[in-house]
A and B are shown apart, each in its own frame.
Chain A
Amino acid sequence: MMDLLQHYLGHDLGYAVWYLIKAVIVIVPLTLVVAYVTLAERRILGFMHARIGANRVGPQGMLQPFADLLKFVFKEIIIPAKASKAVFFLAPAVILICALATWAVVPFSPELYFTNVNAGVLYVTAIGSLGVYGIILAGWAGNSKYSFLGGIRATAQMISYELAMGFALLGVIMISGSLNFIDIVNSQAGGRLAGSILSWNWIPLFPMFLIYLISGVAETNRAPFDVCEGESEIVAGFHVEYSGTPFALFMLAEYASMILVSALTVIMFLGGWLSPFPQSWGILGQHSMAWLVVKVLILLFGFIWYRATFPRYRYDQIMRLGWKVFLPITLVWIFVLGAWMVSPLSIWQ
């Protein structure tokens, strides 16, 4: 396919066009999934609250996301007085670019990926750390106290939880000896307990798996860590001044990063596309992208479930959890893991 394009368009242009096509192939299904995750969230929350949820537009509300989209697009974009205009419109763009750019290195199966880079884990953490700019700028640019408070809260929270997440990833890197996602998944298929659910990273790295899962919820600013939105205190937090399409971009970015964190958790700790069943079980035992999708959907359901279940954390407790509980646990576990890996009890030989 790429050769064909390069034949007609020349070497460099063909290369660029091929990668553009690939980007569209990744982003369009992702956007559709985002649309239906928003619907799923409303229906599941409705079910958990013993009410119906959005079921009016189309069969079972299946067209609701598109109705929402149309409504967002046709709403007026209100710019607050004395807002810093350029930054005001830069913020939703930054947050969305960061949420989408990370997908460039996420593999869906050993053959299906956008790019296969050696420093995939580093890239994901680097771009993930840029995402906070979208929130802090949105909070500042609106020239509103509520949105500024939301932005400040989000910044402090995301920086704190990035550390715990980074250390949790260090454990994964230690085991697989690589920053490449495909190597990381493949390393989970090997070792002494190879070929079963037990060889995946979530068992030997259980504390880190839990910390990564919880920090992921905090990183995406979802309930119960959604103090930067905190409706009961600061209206809607960092995006209180946004309306219409920019607001829709914030929503898109939030759900895209939710899916991303789920996908990363699956790849790092839950064996990615590896099948939980033995190879001899026919189609169920095959490693395929379907397993990745199933695992991601389960984690996404978790995201919605936490929102319906847990009350919002108090802000000082969030910071305490990140710095005084998660960080020490991951640090200790890195030493435990190092000792375990060189001891005769190592299961990764």
Chain B
Amino acid sequence: MDVTSVLFYVFSAILLISGLRVITAKNPVHAALFLVLAFINASCLWMMLGAEFLALTLILVYVGAVMVLFLFVVMMLDVDLEAIRKGFWKNFPLALVLGVVVLIEMLLVVLRNPLITTAVNADPATNISNSNKLGWVLYTQYSYPVELASMVLLLGLVVAVALTLRKSEKAAKYQNINKQVATDSKTRFTMVKMDSEVEDKGDAQ
């Protein structure tokens, strides 16, 4: 076995184990960390396939941003694991049936049309990088789907803001940054004229 296949099996094994630990870990923070490990190993596998852009973007977007926010929320929530585990055996048969159905569907898809993908691969002869080529394809052949997807994302962004923004005078206090920045010494200091204090003897003691 050469080094590449050894690395492949190492990364795949860690990926599978950490994927399993995501759903079995008791501590939600540990589960989130195992998901991060799974993402990183998936990215290593992609890197070995020569898909450097996808690999690095997976780390940048999912590990670097999405999972950080996930972790952020999980750490702040007080998750009561016992309460979540209570109904485990009651719901187990239903979950098992659903799991088997999903597994059969996936197997059917994989077995019927084997995953032969025409990967956008870097061509060593022309020295055009993977990212460069991906960019060409995305903005020529697939430019309408890309634009459409970006509009959907923008819509999601706007809707999320619109749903959560409650701009009523009573509910929230807003800072006027311009007003804060425009302060000078006159608004902060007041010079008070007063007589100098007279040292009194005896009483204080």
| Contacts from A to B (Cβ < 8 Å) | 12, 84, 87, 117-119, 122-123, 125-130, 132-133, 136-137, 140, 148, 152, 155-156, 159, 162, 178-180, 316-317, 320
Main SS of chain B's interface residues?
helix
Cβ proximity bits B3-33 to A, threshold 8 Å, 1 near / 0 not: 1000000000000000000000001011001
When chains A and B are docked, how far (Å) is the Cα of A152 from the Cα of B60? 19
Query: Given that A12-B2, A118-B52, A140-B29 are known contacts, is A162 also in contact with B75, CB under 8 Å in the complex?
Result: no
When chains A and B are docked, how far (Å) is the Cα of A156 from the Cα of B69? 9
* B27 engages A84 (CB within 8 Å): yes
Interface residue from A123, A126, A155, A179 paired with B68 (Cβ < 8 Å): A155
When chains A and B are docked, how far (Å) is the Cα of A222 from the Cα of B72? 22
* B64 engages A126 (CB within 8 Å): yes
Which residues in B have their C-beta under 8 angstroms from that of A128?
A: 64
Complex: chain A residue closest to B129, CB-CB: A118
* B60 engages A126 (CB within 8 Å): yes
Scan residues 94-125 of chain B and give those whose CB is less than 8 A from a CB of chain A: 122
Interface residue from B33, B36, B60 paired with A122 (Cβ < 8 Å): B60
* A129 engages B60 (CB within 8 Å): yes
| Contacts from B to A (Cβ < 8 Å) | 2-3, 27, 29-30, 33, 36, 52-53, 56-57, 59-60, 63-65, 68-69, 71-72, 75-76, 122, 129-132, 175, 177
Interface residue from B63, B71, B76, B175 paired with A129 (Cβ < 8 Å): B63
- Can you give 6 A-B contacts (C-beta < 8 A)? A118-B122, A118-B131, A119-B130, A133-B68, A156-B72, A159-B65
Query: Given that A84-B27, A133-B36, A179-B129 are known contacts, is A162 also in contact with B64, CB under 8 Å in the complex?
Result: yes
Complex: chain B residue closest to A317, CB-CB: B177
Whole-angstrom distance from the CB of A13 to the nearest CB of chain B?
Answer: 9
Question: Which of B30, B59, B130 has most A Cβ within 10 Å?
Answer: B59
Complex: chain A residue closest to B71, CB-CB: A136
Query: Given that A12-B2, A87-B29, A118-B52 are known contacts, is A130 also in contact with B63, CB under 8 Å in the complex?
Result: yes
Which residues in A have their C-beta under 8 angstroms from that of B52?
A: 117-119, 122
When chains A and B are docked, how far (Å) is the Cα of A220 from the Cα of B69? 19
Whole-angstrom distance from the CB of A115 to the nearest CB of chain B?
Answer: 12
Whole-angstrom distance from the CB of B58 to the nearest CB of chain A?
Answer: 8
Complex: chain B residue closest to A129, CB-CB: B64
Whole-angstrom distance from the CB of A244 to the nearest CB of chain B?
Answer: 24
Which residues in A have their C-beta under 8 angstroms from that of B60?
A: 122, 125-126, 129
Which residues in A have their C-beta under 8 angstroms from that of B130?
A: 118-119
Main SS of chain A's interface residues?
helix
* B56 engages A123 (CB within 8 Å): yes
Which residues in B have their C-beta under 8 angstroms from that of A180?
A: 129
* B68 engages A122 (CB within 8 Å): no
When chains A and B are docked, how far (Å) is the Cα of A140 from the Cα of B68? 13
Complex: chain B residue closest to A131, CB-CB: B64
Whole-angstrom distance from the CB of B70 to the nearest CB of chain A?
Answer: 11
* B59 engages A130 (CB within 8 Å): yes
Which residues in A have their C-beta under 8 angstroms from that of B53?
A: 119, 122
Which residues in B have their C-beta under 8 angstroms from that of A119?
A: 52-53, 56, 129-131
Interface residue from A118, A129, A137, A140 paired with B65 (Cβ < 8 Å): A129
Whole-angstrom distance from the CB of B53 to the nearest CB of chain A?
Answer: 6
Which residues in B have their C-beta under 8 angstroms from that of A152?
A: 72, 75-76
Question: Which of B29, B60, B122, B130 has most A Cβ within 10 Å?
Answer: B60
Query: Given that A118-B131, A136-B68 are known contacts, is A126 also in contact with B56, CB under 8 Å in the complex?
Result: yes
Whole-angstrom distance from the CB of B112 to the nearest CB of chain A?
Answer: 35
Which residues in B have their C-beta under 8 angstroms from that of A130?
A: 59, 63-64
When chains A and B are docked, how far (Å) is the Cα of A152 from the Cα of B69? 10
When chains A and B are docked, how far (Å) is the Cα of A136 from the Cα of B3? 34
Whole-angstrom distance from the CB of A136 to the nearest CB of chain B?
Answer: 6
Whole-angstrom distance from the CB of A316 to the nearest CB of chain B?
Answer: 7
Whole-angstrom distance from the CB of B145 to the nearest CB of chain A?
Answer: 22
Complex: chain B residue closest to A173, CB-CB: B131
Whole-angstrom distance from the CB of B182 to the nearest CB of chain A?
Answer: 14
* B64 engages A320 (CB within 8 Å): no
* B68 engages A159 (CB within 8 Å): yes
* A179 engages B131 (CB within 8 Å): yes
When chains A and B are docked, how far (Å) is the Cα of A84 from the Cα of B3? 35
* A87 engages B65 (CB within 8 Å): no
When chains A and B are docked, how far (Å) is the Cα of A126 from the Cα of B60? 4
Whole-angstrom distance from the CB of A142 to the nearest CB of chain B?
Answer: 12
Whole-angstrom distance from the CB of B166 to the nearest CB of chain A?
Answer: 18
Which residues in B have their C-beta under 8 angstroms from that of A123?
A: 56
When chains A and B are docked, how far (Å) is the Cα of A240 from the Cα of B197? 45
